[in-house]
Amino acid sequence: MKIDILTIFPDMFTGPLTESLIGKARDKKILDIAIHDIRSFATDKHHSVDDKPFGGGPGMVMKVEPLYRALSSVGAMRKKNRPYVVYLSPQGRQLGHALATEIASRKHVVLVCGHYEGIDERAERWFDEEVSIGDYVLTGGELPAMVLIDVIARFIPGVVKERASVEQDSFYNGLLDYPHYTRPAVFKGMKVPPVLLSGNHAQMDVWRTEQSHERTRRRRPDLLKGIQQKKKRTKRRIK
């Protein structure tokens, strides 16, 4: 998968994209990630990427010209085989499992990191999706871009060594993950559930499914409600 990042703060990505699974995936050429400084596409002597908003108001607005040139440089203006362009915005569609898998299925993704009061509205025609990581405002789109990359990378074959690890994660089947334990079996009087030490894998599977449902019921009952509604819709279609 190829990912191009358009940002005015390229150095922010150095740590997150060179360590852990992301760094290893890049070394193995599973992920091809390039970072582009939008300032380098500005033509004035100060490399300006922002200006005061028309009509007045607080803050600054990202200019459309440098962003257009940056998008053009990564193929976003092509009519054929153009990349999927994502703008990280608090006004966008909230990032969740379904959206993450949708973006992860793309071969080439461009991530646009906004700043200031936002971008010139005329640039939005070049975006395929606006994505938010929550109902709050950050100083810029860099951190959301890092989060999105980390989320979608897990769905790309070869990034996570064991595919089963991804399929058993929270949200993969609509539920939260079950509890996990490792050695020692007893720590300060706290014991690992006996079923996990029994060697009976059928019983372990039942226990894990029950725990997953119970944890979801206690912590995220809204997820169970969504699953139930989906089942009802499926039944109505079958009838």
Is residue 217 flagged as an active site residue? no
Q: Which of 169, 177, 179, 208 is catalytic?
A: 169
Is residue 154 flagged as an active site residue? yes
Is residue 130 flagged as an active site residue? no
Q: Which of 50, 90, 142, 144 is catalytic?
A: 90
Is residue 218 flagged as an active site residue? no
Q: Which of 65, 102, 117, 130 is catalytic?
A: 117
Q: What's the token pair of residue 22?
A: 């992301």
Q: Which of 50, 83, 144, 154 is catalytic?
A: 154
Residues carrying an active site annotation: 90, 117, 154, 169
